[in-house]
Structure 1
Amino acid sequence: MLQVATRRNWSGGEHVPRQGGFIAAANHYSEIDPLTVAHFLVDQGRPPFFLAKSSLFSVPVLGSALTHLRQVPVYRATSKAGDALVAARTALDEGLPIAIMPEGTLTRDPDLWPMKARPGVGRLALTTGAPVIPIAQWGAQELLGRYARRPGNVLKRPVQHVQAGPPVDLSDLMDRPDDPRAHQEATRRVMAAITAMLADLRGEQPPAEPYDMARHKDHQDQQKDQA
């Protein structure tokens, strides 16, 4: 589907490990992001085991594709929430690649820059020792915009940019696999690498600080209290 609807500008495939388990971490701004990342990794000969938020499985076309690809839904704030990480560790132990969107949901940044991510990717990396390959992508919003349910600009075949980078250096944190602060720092480094590559793809300067959804919500709550 993506080959027909978009044109590809992919780079950095040489950074994708040819064998062994690894974590592919990408930015998230369109519902078709998982398909784009999966397509990129399949082209490198490394089809991924994907951790995707459960709501994506109800999106037409995307949901059926994720199910067909034997992907794992992540049920947040439920008793099933930990099942996804267990499945991810098992896959990595078996030498399979894991794909994950560390932000956990579509970015809320007004200009679609990566926002502050959940610490899950850092935790997974430090508890398994698996390398993290950052992946930046841009262009999917021209095909399916944020929150959109119907594609647009199909006839224009927008360019889909995907760039993989070298493994993020987390070596100094590997001796702290159970430290939440280390998980947060590892995640920050992963997102910084993704953001830097995305800035290169977009030819623009990213915000000085990533959008913080929790902080923004607290600010909104304060404004409501003062109203």
Structure 2
Amino acid sequence: MSRFALIKAVLGPIMRLMFRPQVEGAENIPGTGPVILAGNHVTFIDSIVLPIVCDRQVSFIGKDEYVTGKGLKGRLMAWFFTGVGMIPVDRDGANGGVAALMTGRRVLENGQMFGIYPEGTRSPDGRLYRGRTGVARLTLMTGAPVVPFAMIGTDKLQPGGAGMPRPGKVTVRFGEPMEFSRYEGMDRDRYVLRAVTDSVMAEVMRLSGQEYVDMYATKAKAA
């Protein structure tokens, strides 16, 4: 049994009891082949809930600090996150963005699922912020379809993303796959990248019901 299967079998029921996830549109996730899951990011537990509700393992980029913690808590976090598919990357380094992009490309070219939060960071206030174009680059480089998703209610269980989450109900809503083959070979055209990204974010907004802010979340946090 793989570590992912073991985590699903052992911790899955506990997490489901705690977060009571209601999943809508799971049939929109292709059963095989490369898939990009692109969604909103409102709190830390998004990355705990998403792997639990997906039948297929989904790989995603995470801060390397999640796997470098000390003591029992640090070891348990590293075991859990790497087991469910998190790939640690130093995103704050000089080449962090390129490393994350190439990691996602490698996952997709191996026929697997890759999860991405196009906002690039957690929302500072629960609204949906402008997407960065990494999601567009990945779909145009690999031909993988994009399945938009929305996390609804996780911010109520862990306000501000800090502290232990409280029990409650979460909804995870998946939209229909989006494909952009008409833009094949145009992964360096910044206008195409922006158009593709904006269309994905429009679907995420429709699924989540969030208010949209046409600025990057990092800029909002800095302000």
TM-score by length of 1: 0.79
Residues in 2 aligned to 1:188 and 1:94: alpha-carbon distance in whole angstroms = 27
The answer to whether structure 1 residue 116 and structure 2 residue 130 are counterparts is yes
For structure 2, which runs of at least 5 residues remain unmatched after alignment? 1-13
SS at match of 2:201: helix
For structure 1, which runs of at least 5 residues remain unmatched after alignment? 200-205, 221-227
Q: Can you list the C-alpha shifts for 1:52-95, whole angstroms capped at 9, x where unaligned?
A: 24354468565542123342123224255223322222221111
Q: In the alignment, which residue of structure 1 is the partner of 2:146?
A: 132
The answer to whether structure 1 residue 5 and structure 2 residue 22 are counterparts is no
Query: Given the superposition, is the C-alpha separation of residues 211 and 84 from structure 1 closer, same or farther in structure 2, using an over 3 Å criterion?
Result: closer
Q: How does 1:80-159 map to 2 (within 5 A)?
A: 80-81=95-96, 82-108=98-124, 110=125, 112-152=126-166, 154=167, 158-159=168-169
Residues in 2 aligned to 1:159 and 1:217: alpha-carbon distance in whole angstroms = 27
Q: In the alignment, which residue of structure 2 is the partner of 1:213?
A: 217
Amino acid of the structure 2 residue aligned with 1:7: R
Q: In the alignment, which residue of structure 1 is the partner of 2:57?
A: 47
Identify which range, 72-81 or 122-131, moves more after superposition. Answer: 72-81
Residues in 2 aligned to 1:162 and 1:127: alpha-carbon distance in whole angstroms = 27
Superposition RMSD in Å: 2.4
Residues in 2 aligned to 1:143 and 1:208: alpha-carbon distance in whole angstroms = 22
Query: Given the superposition, is the C-alpha separation of residues 131 and 210 from structure 1 closer, same or farther in structure 2, using an over 3 Å criterion?
Result: same
Which of 60, 66, 74 matches 2:81? Answer: 66
Residues in 2 aligned to 1:55 and 1:102: alpha-carbon distance in whole angstroms = 20
Residues in 1 aligned to 2:40 and 2:174: alpha-carbon distance in whole angstroms = 11
Amino acid of the structure 1 residue aligned with 2:145: P
Q: Is the 8 A contact 1:23 1:98 kept in 2?
A: yes
Residues in 1 aligned to 2:66 and 2:159: alpha-carbon distance in whole angstroms = 15
Q: How does 1:22-41 map to 2 (within 5 A)?
A: 22-41=35-54
Q: Work out the percentage of aligned pairs sharing the same amino acid.
A: 27
Q: In the alignment, which residue of structure 2 is the partner of 1:184?
A: 194
Q: In the alignment, which residue of structure 2 is the partner of 1:18?
A: 31
SS at match of 2:173: strand
Residues in 1 aligned to 2:221 and 2:192: alpha-carbon distance in whole angstroms = 25
Amino acid of the structure 2 residue aligned with 1:207: E
How many residues end up aligned between the 2 structures?
204
Query: Given the superposition, is the C-alpha separation of residues 16 and 169 from structure 1 closer, same or farther in structure 2, using an over 3 Å criterion?
Result: same
Query: Given the superposition, is the C-alpha separation of residues 215 and 86 from structure 1 closer, same or farther in structure 2, using an over 3 Å criterion?
Result: closer
Q: Is the 8 A contact 1:113 1:195 kept in 2?
A: no
Deviation at 1:177, TM superposition (A): 1.5
